[in-house]
Amino acid sequence: MWKWLHPYAKAETAYNLCYRLLPYFSWLAAITLIAGSIWGLLYAPSDYQQGDSFRIIYFHVPTAIWSMGAYTSMAICGLIGIVWQIKNAELAVYAMAPVGAAFTFLALVTGAVWGKPMWGAWWVWDARLTSELILLFLYLGVIALYNSFEDKRTAARAASILAIVGVVNVPIIHYSVEWWNTLHQGASITKFDKPSISPDMLWPLLLNIAGFLFIFAAIVCLRLANQILINDARRPWVKALVEQSSTESTSSVKGKHNAV
């Protein structure tokens, strides 16, 4: 039943799949992000309390959602890598970490810029903000741990374990606004009853949430392909790629120097 999946554990197949998926993700990301941002910034109605400052929501909420989504998928890849010893999953952990870290950073920064006019403070040490900051440190820890081992299999295993252990932080971030008193508002879309946000404001938000997911997928495709190349550097298919790239870029130079 799952046999069709097996070839994708092979490095070259996964590498080619990354580049086959890349244009779809890139175009979807470009379309949804441009449409969602323009719609949200210029056409969505102003908030009755926050005026136009609420428009930061169109960047704050998507980056915050996918900072947690990226971490969860990274941890799942780490688990797959450790349990089934699938090398591509280990490489995916390292491919996802910088993108997730960037999203977390953006969620924190846009949150601070939104908090200043609305709360009167760039930063408060409440549960939501602090746990999101810890998420950023977890991402940086995964990246640093991966880079601190010469042997990349050991590096990937250590980074995967940190990613798996750190996943405990994700539900803490999500429920922090319910468990503790906070300045941060609760969820507006992911409530089980009707979302408590006007559809005119909701649609561009959903577009940008989709957009950030697609751009995450596109960037991870690029970075994963690159990790596969590095990991398979001694394999014939990578050597062929290197040869091909050298004949493309330096054919004229080589022709001069190699004349015997």
Partner 1 sequence: MQFNSFSEVLAMGGYGAYVWSSVAIVFAVLLMLIVHSCTAKNRTLRLLRIEQERAEKISQAKVANAQALFDKR
Site for partner 1 in 167-196 (CB under 8 A): none
215 is a site residue for partner 1 (CB under 8 A): yes
Residues 168/93, Cβ–Cβ less than 8 Å = no
Residues 88/8, Cβ–Cβ less than 8 Å = yes
Of 100-108, 134-142, 175-183, 190-198, which segment contacts partner 1 by CB under 8 A? 100-108
- Output the CA torsion sign for 58, 63, 65, 66: positive
Q: Which C-beta is closer to partner 1: that of 180 or that of 184?
A: 184
Question: Shortest gap between Cβ of 100 and partner 1 (angstroms)?
Answer: 11
Question: Shortest gap between Cβ of 117 and partner 1 (angstroms)?
Answer: 5
Q: Which residues 6+ apart lie within 8 Å of 234 measured at CB?
A: none
233 is a site residue for partner 1 (CB under 8 A): yes
Question: Shortest gap between Cβ of 27 and partner 1 (angstroms)?
Answer: 14
Site for partner 1 in 237-256 (CB under 8 A): 238-239, 241-243, 245-246
Site for partner 1 in 10-39 (CB under 8 A): 37
201 is a site residue for partner 1 (CB under 8 A): no
Site for partner 1 in 112-141 (CB under 8 A): 113-114, 116-117
Question: Shortest gap between Cβ of 56 and partner 1 (angstroms)?
Answer: 5
56 is a site residue for partner 1 (CB under 8 A): yes
Question: Shortest gap between Cβ of 220 and partner 1 (angstroms)?
Answer: 9
Q: Which C-beta is closer to partner 1: that of 191 or that of 239?
A: 239
43-75: b (≥16 Cβ within 10 Å) or e: ebeeeeeeeeebbbbbbbbbbbbbbbbbbebbb
- What ranges in the chain are assigned the alpha helix state H? 11-38, 57-84, 87-119, 127-147, 152-166, 169-179, 199-231, 236-257
Residues 18/95, Cβ–Cβ less than 8 Å = no
> What is the Cα–Cα distance from 110 to 50, expressed in whole angstroms?
15
Number of residues interacting with partner 1: please give it, by CB under 8 A. Answer: 42
Residues 103/35, Cβ–Cβ less than 8 Å = no
Q: Which C-beta is closer to partner 1: that of 82 or that of 96?
A: 96
55 is a site residue for partner 1 (CB under 8 A): yes
Cα–chain center distance at 209: 12
CA angle at 101 for the pair 96 and 105, rounded to the nearest 5°: 155
> What is the Cα–Cα distance from 13 to 6, expressed in whole angstroms?
10
Token pair of 13 as six digits:
């197949």
Task: Report the interface residues with partner 1, using CB under 8 A.
Answer: 37, 41-46, 51-53, 55-56, 59-60, 63, 98-99, 102, 105-106, 109-110, 113-114, 116-117, 215, 219, 222-223, 225-226, 229-230, 233, 238-239, 241-243, 245-246
